[in-house]
């Protein structure tokens, strides 16, 4: 029972520290930007797959994050999802 209380406390503290900075709509994947532990986490999700990039809050402003996502990461992330999906399917078929 004590371990349960400790883990609930840890989850509670983690939730308080992590915040959603932005959710960027896109038809092919979900994009969420979090702020946590002096870093921005840029998370791309598509079905069972996800990609996360970490950037120090000291290296970039919140305004620059959207530009980074749209101009530099988005196209490659979507392409990488196709590769990841193919890798996952091939791995599952090999079982």
What's the average model confidence in pLDDT over 54-79? Answer: 93
- Token output for 53: 């990039």
Bridge-based pairing state of the strands 39-46 and 49-56: antiparallel
CA gap 44, 74 in Å, rounded: 9
The mean pLDDT value of the chain amounts to 89
- The confidence score (pLDDT) of residue 17 equals 83
- Largest Cα–Cα distance of the chain, in whole Å? 49
The answer to whether residues 22 and 65 touch, using CB atoms and an 8 Å cutoff, is yes
Q: Contact 40/54 with Cβ under 8 angstroms?
A: yes
Predicted TM-score (pTM) of the model is 0.79
Mean pLDDT of 87-93: 97
Give the 3-state secondary structure of residue 47: coil
């Amino acid at each position: 029972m004590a371990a349960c209380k400790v883990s609930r406390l840890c989850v509670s503290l983690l939730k308080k520290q992590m915040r959603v900075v932005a959710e960027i709509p896109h038809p092919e994947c979900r994009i969420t930007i979090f702020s946590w532990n002096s870093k921005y986490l840029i998370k791309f999700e598509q079905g069972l797959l996800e990609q996360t990039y970490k950037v120090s809050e000291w290296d970039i402003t919140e305004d620059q994050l959207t530009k980074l996502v749209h101009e530099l990461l988005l196209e490659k992330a979507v392409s990488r999802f196709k590769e990841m999906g193919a890798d996952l399917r091939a791995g599952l078929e090999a079982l």
